[in-house]
Chains A and B, each alone.
Chain A
Amino acid sequence: MNYEIILAGFGGQGILSAGRIISVSAILEGRNTTWFPSYGPEMRGGTANCHVIVSDDEIGSPIINNPDILIAMTLPALEKFEKVVRNTGFIIADSSLIEEERLKEAKSRVFPIKATQIAGEMGHKAYAMLIMIGKLIKETNIFKPETVEKALYEVLKQELHKLVPEEMAALSAGLEM
């Protein structure tokens, strides 16, 4: 198994944390992983992205040139990375923040998910990333859904642990899409 994933959006959407949840889940299932954040001038203007690799093998560069999967949470994020997605890869895009018509222009296979809207209806917009991870698991079987629960307890601060059931409900919603 070798998945190269770029998660991209605005600061505050939980992009970097979602990457950590994926990486920690990978470790919990005994795989190797790297998590490489944007830092420096790339972060100006509020954009945030991270490169996450999950592999059974030793991982070379942590920097992804051609992702298998792009999780795009904003239009600028889609525009920045859509052209480099592998031919065999796909994009999971938040279609409550990016117009569906625009998503049809992407050359890769696109799964439009109204993640932010649905997350808002479920209680908090921050759960949008869990919906996206749910969809990622559905399309790849990258790890077991229940592994994410363990990862959430590791990644989230103690005072947020009470939210794990709601986060897992969001993950389940993504698994259904």
Chain B
Amino acid sequence: MSEKVLIKGNEAIGEAAIRAGCRHYFGYPITPQNELTNYMSKYMPEAGGVFIQAESEIAAINMVYGAAGAGARAMTSSSSPGISLKQEGISYIAGAEIPAVVVNVMRCGPGLGGIMPAQSDYFQAVKGGGHGDYRNIALAPSNGQELYELTVKAFDLADKYRMLVMVMADGALGQMMENVEFRDREEPLIVEKPWAATGTGMKREKNSITSVYINPDELETVNNRLQAKYHEVEENEVMYEEINCEGADIVICAYGLAARLTRNVMKSASAEGIKVGLMRPITLWPFPKQAVGALAEKTDTVMSVELSAGQMVEDVRLAINGKVPVHFYGRTGGNIPTQDEILDKIKEVLGKEKK
């Protein structure tokens, strides 16, 4: 069954989670993701699930740890400062290899910052916001349909790899409405979780969920297993969209809202005879290293456009590895780059005269 509706991005995430079989949601209010918590408070009980407004963000992530440890599809959501509070729990979940979904509807920082959109939590999401050698998968939707589909995928990936998956939206994507088509999965969802702490029923050995390993060799073995798993994710789960990069005057690397801005810039630049390509990472981790690195064979100039002071640009530079210049344009404080600003920067970079 599918239906097309006009829905806020935040609500599309909530609907996706419920349709993905999530029946345990733990939230704590923060702008600009409140419509998601609100949606869950209304529809999770209707779906026969559990909605809890926790006493804090820290409590909420630990409730996810517990519910997911018992085998449930569990989720929490917040926005930047709230995600910072969850980092201890995120590291524990990574260490205990528990599948969970965390949604970050990013707002501007640092500190309490403001409530306007930003992409300045990239480092936190992909470089490890918590302690220890861990990774979480980070998905970057750029429209309502992807907010829906990637949230569903987040649960599937979490279960497949027993990892935490972050959905990285921003205040604009969360607040805006767009036509979204809800598609139910074609086959019923069956996920076996023999590791879950569900009670032995006196029929099997106890399952233990922990991230504590006092013995160094034992902990190193765990770390080696985690690293092998992360390598497998890097091999198998990279997602990106590439448009008109071959022979482009410049290729813009951008995700989420910034990629949408770039789509408009591609049109206006084309009208002025400048060919702009777009490389849009959909998985921020695993980062599409090979595809971004290959841009050096397709264009002479690359630029990262972000709603940040320059975060993803570091991974773009690592992937390009000095083969072509990598420039950056971004705005902070909740400001959104205008198409004209981006086009002016493109012209400046390409050494063309401004109009």
Residues on A facing B (Cβ under 8 Å) = 20, 23-24, 26-27, 32-37, 39-41, 58-63, 65, 154
Distance in Å: Cβ of B280 to nearest Cβ of chain A:
12
Known contacts A39-B115, A40-B334, A61-B264: does B6 contact A23 (CB below 8 Å)? Answer: yes
In the A-B complex, the 6 residue pairs with the closest CB atoms: A60-B263, A35-B177, A60-B264, A36-B176, A61-B260, A61-B261
How far is A20 from B5 in the complex, measured between Cα atoms in Å? 11
Q: Which residues of A contact B257 (CB under 8 A)?
A: 61
B321 within 8 A of A: no
Distance in Å: Cβ of A130 to nearest Cβ of chain B:
18
B197 within 8 A of A: no
Report whether B4 and A27 are in contact in the complex, using a CB–CB cutoff of 8 Å.
yes
How far is A154 from B171 in the complex, measured between Cα atoms in Å? 25
Known contacts A33-B178, A36-B172: does B261 contact A20 (CB below 8 Å)? Answer: no
Q: Which residue of B lies closest to A32 (CB)?
A: B179
How far is A63 from B176 in the complex, measured between Cα atoms in Å? 10
Interface string of B285-326 (1 = CB under 8 A from A): 000000000000000000000000000000000000000000
Report whether B260 and A62 are in contact in the complex, using a CB–CB cutoff of 8 Å.
yes
Distance in Å: Cβ of B321 to nearest Cβ of chain A:
30
How far is A110 from B338 in the complex, measured between Cα atoms in Å? 26
Q: Which residues of A contact B4 (CB under 8 A)?
A: 27
Report whether A62 and B172 are in contact in the complex, using a CB–CB cutoff of 8 Å.
yes
How far is A39 from B177 in the complex, measured between Cα atoms in Å? 13
How far is A39 from B174 in the complex, measured between Cα atoms in Å? 11
Q: Which residue of A lies closest to B180 (CB)?
A: A27
Distance in Å: Cβ of A121 to nearest Cβ of chain B:
31
Q: Which residues of A contact B338 (CB under 8 A)?
A: 65
Partner of B6, one of A24, A41, A58, A65: A24
Known contacts A33-B178, A40-B334: does B172 contact A63 (CB below 8 Å)? Answer: yes
Q: Which residues of A contact B172 (CB under 8 A)?
A: 36, 62-63
Distance in Å: Cβ of B96 to nearest Cβ of chain A:
37
Interface size bracket, B side? 20 to 34
How far is A20 from B115 in the complex, measured between Cα atoms in Å? 23
Distance in Å: Cβ of B147 to nearest Cβ of chain A:
13
Known contacts A27-B4, A60-B264, A65-B340: does B116 contact A40 (CB below 8 Å)? Answer: yes
Report whether A65 and B179 are in contact in the complex, using a CB–CB cutoff of 8 Å.
no
B interface, over-half SS: mixed
Q: Which residue of A lies closest to B177 (CB)?
A: A35
Q: Which residue of B lies closest to A33 (CB)?
A: B179
Distance in Å: Cβ of B107 to nearest Cβ of chain A:
9
Q: Which residue of A lies closest to B174 (CB)?
A: A39
Q: Which residues of B contact A58 (CB under 8 A)?
A: 263
Report whether B260 and A40 are in contact in the complex, using a CB–CB cutoff of 8 Å.
no
Report whether B6 and A27 are in contact in the complex, using a CB–CB cutoff of 8 Å.
yes
B82 within 8 A of A: no
Partner of B178, one of A39, A40, A62: A62
B32 within 8 A of A: yes
Partner of A35, one of B32, B171, B178: B178
Distance in Å: Cβ of B7 to nearest Cβ of chain A:
10
Report whether B176 and A35 are in contact in the complex, using a CB–CB cutoff of 8 Å.
yes
Distance in Å: Cβ of A128 to nearest Cβ of chain B:
22
Known contacts A35-B6, A40-B334: does B260 contact A60 (CB below 8 Å)? Answer: yes
Distance in Å: Cβ of B181 to nearest Cβ of chain A:
10
Q: Which residue of B lies closest to A38 (CB)?
A: B175
Known contacts A35-B6, A61-B260, A62-B176: does B114 contact A40 (CB below 8 Å)? Answer: yes
Q: Which residues of B contact A61 (CB under 8 A)?
A: 257, 260-261, 263-264, 339
Q: Which residues of B contact A32 (CB under 8 A)?
A: 178-179
How far is A60 from B178 in the complex, measured between Cα atoms in Å? 12
How far is A65 from B343 in the complex, measured between Cα atoms in Å? 13
Distance in Å: Cβ of B341 to nearest Cβ of chain A:
10
Interface string of B317-355 (1 = CB under 8 A from A): 000000000000000001010111000000000000000
Distance in Å: Cβ of A97 to nearest Cβ of chain B:
26
How far is A161 from B267 in the complex, measured between Cα atoms in Å? 42
Report whether A34 and B176 are in contact in the complex, using a CB–CB cutoff of 8 Å.
yes
